[in-house]
Amino acid sequence: MIRSTDLVGAAMRALRANPMRSALTALGVIIGVASVVAMVALGSGAQARVEANIQSLGSNLLIVVPGAQRGAGGVRGAAGGWDSLTLGDAEAIERDVANIAAVAPVQNAGGQMIANGLNWNTRVLGVTPHYFIARDLAVENGRPIEDADVSQARRVILLGPTVAQNLFPNMDPVGQTLRLNGGAYEVIGVLESKGQSGFQDQDDIALAPLTTVKRRIAGRRGRGDSISQISVKAVSEDLIPIVEADVTDVLRQRHRTDGDDDDFTVQNLASITDAMKETTQTFTLLLAAIAGVSLLVGGIGIMNIMLVSVTERTREIGLRKALGARRSDILNQFGLEAIALSVAGGAAGLLIGVLGAWGITSAMGLPLVLSAETPIYAMLFSGLVGVTFGAYPAWRAARLDPIEALRRE
């Protein structure tokens, strides 16, 4: 019975005898594993980015907007339209729903701001102090909106970093005055940056007291009790579904709807996150599957070369059998050669894949996410490729008739 160390030695010697051929044969697996590793890392990076973006909107957040969610065919619920949410709804939620950290009614508006002879067109949100809690907003410079600003409808405004840079380049905006829709407003603070959120610049925004926006900035949209949205922050992540159900109940009672004709929608950021995660995961899987095809091609390359090698070494196989090699010894030797080729290819591919993923993600500004399982899977799969595609050539070698094999020139 041959010793396993001698078996490995024989396989290694055979591969070293033809280093160029061995390297080219392993190249298929190298490319396959490298592309799978790079694609998975890229997908994980994109996923982490999406999650971080959604998280930056505020944690444990529900957003109530007017109008029903689009059903199939894009038909919007009949009742309510855009005026269906009111300040009263926000007050009712705050009063009747438990487990909430903050309820923040928001009035959307927008307009052209002018300061220093510069102008900038941006969204202006009318908010209460609760908005800062609900959306995890921090003020970098100056002060946030306070209750007194809202109750007195003061003409004060906070700017996002993008707005601040465009209107007040190279100077501190706090204390300055800007003109908006015909009125003058004092800048009381600059928000901390939230960064790009995939589709829009979250820093291109301005905040003013809710009452101020409704009366002076929003124009016709600001009349009456209606508001644009309500942000509701749950106390903790696991309470989000309960809060979501309670908010929906309260609003259905107030709006006298029963689910089919809801004139509002409660958006759960956690479920949006999940949906986005699932999308990127599917995409990652798709990319990995395409890359996996190249791994398959690499495996076929190994099988091809191993078959050539068995044919070339027929006489050697015959001789080894005459000297006492069993079928299993020959099977193991050639099988091991294939596995060694693909595992070495897998290791090199892993290294190249990680380097490639690092290059691509840093070029795209994505985080580099490498899971601890990646090397394990890379080695496991390349080993599997070796076993799968080495099996047939090894079997062919093992069942060669020694007499025929020795006669072969």
Partner 1 sequence: MPGLIAASALVKLYAMGEETVHALDGVSFDIERGGYVAIVGPSGSGKSTLMNLIGGLDTPTGGRLHIDGHDIGAMDDSDLAVFRNRTIGFVFQSFNLLPRLTALENVELPLIYGGVESRRRKERAIALLRRVGLGERLAHKPTQLSGGQQQRVAIARALACEPQILLADEPTGALDTHTGREILALFKELNQEGVCVVIVTHDSEVAAQTARIIEMRDGKIVRDQHAPAPA
Q: Which of 322, 355, 376, 380 binds partner 1 (CB under 8 A)?
A: 322
Of 384, 372, 315, which Cα lies nearest the Cα of 346?
A: 384
Q: What is the distance between the alpha carbons of residues 325 and 335, in angstroms, rounded to a whole number?
A: 15
Q: Give least dist CB 13 to partner 1, A.
A: 7
Of 186, 204, 202, which Cα lies nearest the Cα of 194?
A: 202
β-strand partners of 110: 123
Q: Does 70 bind partner 1 (CB under 8 A)?
A: no
Q: Which of 135, 194, 221, 321 binds partner 1 (CB under 8 A)?
A: 321
| Cα Rg of the chain (Å, integer) | 33
Q: Which of 101, 315, 351, 395 binds partner 1 (CB under 8 A)?
A: 315
Q: Does 324 bind partner 1 (CB under 8 A)?
A: yes
Query: Helix 87-96 to helix 240-255 angle, to the nearest 10 degrees?
Result: 130
Q: In terms of CB distance, is 137 or 317 closer to partner 1?
A: 317
Q: How many residues bind partner 1 (CB under 8 A)?
A: 25
Q: In terms of CB distance, is 74 or 324 closer to partner 1?
A: 324
Q: Which of 179, 316, 377, 391 binds partner 1 (CB under 8 A)?
A: 316
Q: Give least dist CB 43 to partner 1, A.
A: 45
Q: Does 10 bind partner 1 (CB under 8 A)?
A: yes
Q: Does 323 bind partner 1 (CB under 8 A)?
A: yes
Q: Does 146 bind partner 1 (CB under 8 A)?
A: no
H or E stretch covering 65 = strand 61-66
3-state helix, strand, coil in the chain (%, to 5): 60, 20, 25
Q: Does 2 bind partner 1 (CB under 8 A)?
A: yes
Q: What is the distance between the alpha carbons of residues 214 and 181, in angstroms, rounded to a whole number?
A: 13
Q: Give least dist CB 360 to partner 1, A.
A: 42
Q: Does 320 bind partner 1 (CB under 8 A)?
A: yes
Q: Give least dist CB 315 to partner 1, A.
A: 7
Binding segment for partner 1 (CB under 8 A), chosen from 3-11, 106-114, 240-248, 342-350, is 3-11
Query: Helix 327-364 to helix 269-312 angle, to the nearest 10 degrees?
Result: 140
Q: Give least dist CB 3 to partner 1, A.
A: 6
Q: In terms of CB distance, is 143 or 327 closer to partner 1?
A: 327
Q: Does 336 bind partner 1 (CB under 8 A)?
A: no
The answer to whether the CB of 400 falls within 8 A of the CB of 317 is yes
Q: Does 8 bind partner 1 (CB under 8 A)?
A: no
345-404 positions binding partner 1, by CB under 8 A: 402-403
Helix extents (H) in 72-225: 87-96, 130-134, 147-151, 161-167, 210-212
SS3 of 207, please?
Answer: strand
Q: What is the distance between the alpha carbons of residues 185 and 204, in angstroms, rounded to a whole number?
A: 18
Residue 19 CB contacts under 8 Å (≥ 6 apart), including other chains: none
Which x/- pattern over 72-111 shows residues binding partner 1 (rule: CB under 8 A)? ----------------------------------------
170-189 positions binding partner 1, by CB under 8 A: none
Q: Does 52 bind partner 1 (CB under 8 A)?
A: no
Q: Give least dist CB 39 to partner 1, A.
A: 39
DSSP characters over 249-261? HHHHHHHT--STT
DSSP characters over 210-279? HHHIIIIISGGGGSTTB-SEEEEEESSGGGHHHHHHHHHHHHHHHHT--STT-SEEEEEHHHHHHHHHHH
Q: In terms of CB distance, is 213 or 394 closer to partner 1?
A: 394
Q: Which of 8, 319, 351, 387 binds partner 1 (CB under 8 A)?
A: 319
Q: Give least dist CB 403 to partner 1, A.
A: 5
Task: Return the C-alpha torsion angle 83, 88, 91, 92, nearest 10.
Answer: -100
Chain contacts with partner 1 (rule: CB under 8 A): 1-3, 5-6, 10, 13-14, 17, 315-316, 319-329, 402-403, 406
